[in-house]
Amino acid sequence: MGHARLVAWYRFRATWRHRWTGYLGIVLVAGLIGGVAMAAVAGARRTQSSFSVFLAATHPSDLAVLTGLFHPEPSGYDPGLISRIAHLPYVERVRSQAGYAVSLVGPKGYVLPSSQRQGAPRITLNSSVDGLYYGMDRLVVLSGRLPNPRSRTEVALTPDEATQMGLKVGSTFRLGVVGNVQSTQSCQKCKPLFHTTLKVVGLATTSGNIVVDDNDRTPTIFASPAFTRPLLKCCVDPTITFLQLSGGTRHLSAVESEIARILPAHMPHDFVPTASSSEAVAQRVIGPDVVALYVFGLIVALVALLVASQMIGRQLRLGSGESDVIRALGAGPAMTMIEGTTGVIAALVAGATLAVGVAVALSPLMPIGPIGPVYPKSGPSFDGLVLGVGAGTLLIVLGLMAVATAFLQAPHRSHRHRQLSATRVPVVVRFAKAIGLSAPAVAGIQFAAVPGRGRSAAPVRSAVVGAVVAISVVVASLTVSASVNKLSSHPRLYGWNWTVALAAAGGIGVLPQTQLVKTLAADHDVTAWSGADFAQLEIDGQHVAVIGERPRAPVAPPLLSGHGLEGRGQVVLGVETLTRLHKRVGEFVELGTGARQLTKLRIVGTATFPALGSGGPHTEMGTGALLDYKLIPESSRNIFNLPGGGPNVALVRIKIPTGVAALSRLHSVAATLARAVQDSVTVVPVQRPAEIADSGTLRATPSILASALAAGAVLALGLTLIASVRRRRRDLALLKVLGFTRRQVATALAWQSAIAAIFGIIVGVPVGVLAGRQLWTLFARSIYAVPDPVTPVVPVIFVGVAALVFSALVSWPPGRSAARTPPAMVLRTE
């Protein structure tokens, strides 16, 4: 064995000058493509944990509690109540924000009516009382800086608010606190209780608003504690207190119970888990990006293994003729195997090292998705698990392939294989001859079907497999992209199964029942409508956002399974809610309706719920419940005991969703209803869930990854076809000796490339369509949307035509070169 190693080392050094380019190719393929695969998988892991890392950097709260309303007290701020909450068990830290009724102020100091506010008819101001936004729940600065907590005149704005108000960092504006006793809708000369000129020093948002649906997206002004303190005793409305708890959410229920015990009787029990809710939403939105990266990394890894194994096989086959000579001189199987694999193993070690470096170099591009721009840990990262497993996989799998190929290529076995396979003629070649195809066509088909041997060996199987992979990837990518576009443009697929909603006071008021029925019945463009109420109820002891409707309502969330609400004793759940309750369709749950009363409800179906509610926790695509509105206590349907007698919202479906006239009439209907209840009634357009609101990432991520993967597959196919054509130079020279013209030689090569493309189309198109539809269905179900994949027929046909054109273009340069090469130049070395 030692003598064999010495001879192998001598042979390796002697042939290095002729083989170094092949070894370099193995290094580059394993290093570059393998490195991209490692980077994708490591990026998926980094993206998956990105929101948790980001959230921890903001020192988030665990629970938000409504601790003050303007009525009946003159101020909605109660420091005694907040102090009592701060001393409850498991409460570690408490910070509060004050809300104010505010308005823009004109040059003469009067409140500007809504009609003069230039795109910002409603302004929300949240003001830190005691350091919120600075320590706990620190604001995420997108540009500029945080307001100085000691300055009364510095504020930060969300980007949406800045856009509405036409402001930027450095701009100033006049803002007044008007209190709840003044009507800013009709008042012409109203003086605010307090007004000042404020300066925008930054654009910022809260950690919970980085990934958020349209229902929760509120343009906001953030003011400092210095702005808040002088106004705490006059006009705060409302106060929201944020708590950090020991053990996170482990003691959430116990703390909520203690707070409910000490809240004043007039105060609604409004508890909102903050960090856990934000993280749940973010993980749902980030999930598709994570899956896409994992799939991308897996496919690229398979491509790297496939291409590298082809190059290894080719490198070993190049020396098969010389191995015959060595065997004739007395070399045994061990010597020929070691001689062939020494350089390959060294190249694999170098390639694995390069792959690790490439993955680390690409790591600053991660994480992708909505957290990428605000991720607190920039720069390279080293994922030891992924890099170790990836490098080990390259070395072990490709090393075993190299050893197996060298074993099979050993002269003692390959000689017998040549004798057995010399007379085999592929079926496709016999069929081409039987139907009378021309000689160039038969020759090209034989080139595409018969790999050859030694110096004439061509990667024909790799060309066919590469064509199938490339076309499958492109078609699957087109199918997924078309389905993404359909999901984004069809609101019914994500729960919005109507055109618009008419909401009273943002969903917390009540619509006038009599006028509502009368006006909607008279509108000939309204095809159907249903009233709906919102509430937070306990189902099997868990808080669930519910929508209450009449049984058999004509407009309801779209079903995923089972049937709709048909009776009072039934409930339709979101899929995530169903899973969380550990139930199945057909089983029963218990609804808590207050005063320790429990109502048993049968689960009759699952549905995709809309991002719609009255603020705070609300239904989302996978979470929520639909039940009879009479099961919601009157105190929850009408929390302020307002007149009107109707639902919180009316879900309206019109004939022409984009009809300007129909929507204009609905705005008139809203104005009529507002006068009847003396409260605001608004026309609410489509509210996108967080998964769809982040449509930039949803659309871009699959497209970018699929485009990169398709480009790599097409490039690999092109290189394989070119290599396959170039390896046929000896056979082409023989054909020219036998009488083939230049045109016939070029035609034969065109047929060779076309056969690979045709096989790719026949197999790749249906595989790509099925894979794309299946992937999209799995994705839609993962975000609880209605699965409705699309097959883009015209683009798929274009892919087939493009594959044939591409095969012709690939075969043209080497075909032209082969046609012009004199046969004697090729054959004189034989």
Residues of the chain above pLDDT 90, percent: 29
Whole-number percent of the chain with pLDDT over 70: 77
Task: Please say whether the beta carbons of 621 and 608 come within 8 A.
Answer: yes
Token readout for 475 is 């078609």
Q: How many residues in the chain? A: 830
d(CA 830, CA 731): 12
Predicted confidence at residue 156, as pLDDT, reads 95
Q: Would you say 675 and 439 are in contact if contact means Cβ atoms under 8 Å apart?
A: no
Both structure tokens of 554? 């004509």
Task: Find, among 557, 537, 674, 550, the residue nearest to 611 by Cα.
Answer: 557
Specify the pairing of strand 194-205 against strand 271-273: unpaired
Whole-number pLDDT of residue 365: 84
202 versus 415: the higher-pLDDT residue is 202
Query: How far does the chain reach from its first CA to its final CA, in angstroms?
Result: 34
Of 271, 267, 255, nearest in space to 88 by CA: 255
Q: What is the pLDDT of residues 764-816, one digit of tens each?
A: 899 999 988 998 898 888 889 999 999 999 989 988 888 888 777 776 766 66
Q: How much is the pLDDT for 300?
A: 80
Q: Residue 282: its pLDDT value, please?
A: 86
pLDDT category, 183, cuts 50, 70, 90?
A: very low
Lowest mean pLDDT among 32-36, 238-242, 254-258, 299-303: 299-303
pLDDT value at residue 264? 84
Report the alpha-carbon distance of residue 466 to residue 721 in Å, rounded.
9
Segment among 104-118, 233-247, 281-295, 715-729 with least mean pLDDT: 715-729
pLDDT at 104: 84
Q: Is 660 exposed, middle or buried (0-12, 13-18, 19+ CB in 10 A)?
A: exposed
Dist CA 684 CA 532 (whole Å): 14
Pairing relation of β-strands 526-539 and 649-654? Answer: antiparallel
Mean pLDDT, to the nearest integer, of 736-748? 72
Quote the pLDDT of residue 9.
56
Tokens read off for 440: 């160039």
pLDDT of residue 635: 81
The 3-state DSSP class for residue 743 equals helix
Least confidently predicted of 335-344, 429-438, 477-486, 683-692: 335-344
pLDDT band at 577 (very low <50, low <70, confident <90, very high): very high
What is the average pLDDT score of the chain? 80
Greater confidence (53 vs 465) lies with: 53
Predicted local confidence at residue 422, as pLDDT = 46
Binned at pLDDT 50, 70 and 90, residue 583 comes out as very high
Query: Range with the lowest mean pLDDT among 29-38, 100-109, 179-188, 423-432?
Result: 179-188
How is the chain split into domains, by residue range? Answer: 1-60+282-424, 61-273, 428-491+690-830, 497-685
What six digits make up the tokens of 785? 């949307």
For residues 372 and 704, is the Cβ–Cβ distance under 8 A? no
Residues 109-137 have a mean pLDDT of 75
Higher pLDDT, 119 or 268: 268
Cis ω for the linkage preceding 273 (within 30 of 0): no
Burial of 580 (0-12, 13-18, 19+ CB in 10 A): middle
Handedness of CA 20, 21, 22, 24 (dihedral sign): positive
pLDDT at 400 over 60: yes
For residue 184, name the pLDDT band (cuts at 50, 70, 90): very low
Measure Cα distances from 776 to 47, 286, 772 in Å: 21, 16, 6
* Averaged pLDDT for residues 672-695: 80
Q: Where are the alpha helices (DSSP H) in 687-741?
A: 690-693, 695-726, 729-737
Give the burial class of 830: count Cβ atoms within 10 A of its Cβ; 0-12 exposed, 13-18 middle, 19 or more buried: exposed
Backbone dihedral angles phi then psi of residue 136, each to the nearest 5 degrees: -80, 145
Q: What CA–CA distances, in Å, run from 764 to 459, 465, 473, 716?
A: 19, 9, 8, 16
The angle at the Cα of 414, spanning 411 to 415, to the nearest 5 degrees, equals 80
Distance CA 323, CA 541 (A): 76
The top-scoring range by mean pLDDT among 260-269, 316-325, 814-823 is 260-269
**Chain center to CA of 777:** 14
The residue whose two tokens read 């479906």 is 653
For residue 606, which amino acid is it?
T
Report how far residue 381's alpha carbon sits from residue 360's, in angstroms, rounded to the nearest whole number.
Answer: 6
Three-class DSSP category at 245: strand
- Give tens-digit pLDDT for 602-640: 999 999 999 888 766 789 888 999 999 999 988 888 877
Nearest partner of 162 among 128, 192, 127, 118, judged by Cα: 118
The helix (H) or strand (E) run that includes residue 555 is: none
> What pTM was computed for the model?
0.75
Report the C-alpha gap between 562 and 604 in whole angstroms.
Answer: 6
427 and 450 in contact (C-beta within 8 Å)?
no
pLDDT, tens only, 306-356: 778 877 776 776 655 555 555 554 555 555 566 667 778 888 899 999 999
Q: Which of 219, 244, 277, 273 is nearest to 51 (CA)?
A: 277
**Who contacts 469 (Cβ-Cβ below 8 Å, separation ≥6)?**
303, 713, 716, 717, 764
Integer-rounded Cα radius of gyration of the chain: 35
> If you ran DSSP here, which 8-state letter would residue 413 be given?
H
If pLDDT is split at 50, 70 and 90, which confidence band does 182 have? very low
